[in-house]
Amino acid sequence: MRALYAFALSAALALSTTAPALSLDRRVTIVNKTGFTIVRFYGSNSGSKSWEEDILGDDILPSGSSVVINFDDATGYCMFDFRAEFEDGDVLERADVNVCEIATFTYE
């Protein structure tokens, strides 16, 4: 019985230390203040080897506009790499953005 109690206690402690990380808000407002339209935007967790799909899809993000993106990909990751591709061909990449700690990311 004592072993079962110890197991249950350790399981409860493990869940209580991981639950906050899993429940963190990963929504980030992406703001474009560059003077150019973002035509493609990618946000992949820093452990990924590819950019995945364009989050904007058929949409664009004109200068002066913003969009809220939920980066919760069910992995528990907080660190993401961002890639913005602009109408003039420029590309801006930013590695290791902590989406669990920021609410807004601005391109200027």
pLDDT one-digit tens code per residue, 20-76 = 445 689 999 999 999 999 999 999 999 889 998 999 999 999 999 999 999 998 888
Element (H, E) at 93: strand 91-98
- As to burial, measured by CB atoms within 10 angstroms (0-12 exposed, 13-18 middle, 19+ buried), residue 54 is middle
**Whole-structure pTM value:** 0.77
DSSP letter for each residue of 27-89: EEEEEE-SSS-EEEEEEEETT-SS--S-TTTT--B-TT-EEEEE---SS---EEEEEEEETTS
Domains defined for the chain, CATH in brackets: 25-107 (2.60.40.2890)
* pLDDT for position 40: 98
- Over residues 71-96, the mean pLDDT reads 95
- Over residues 92-108, the mean pLDDT reads 97
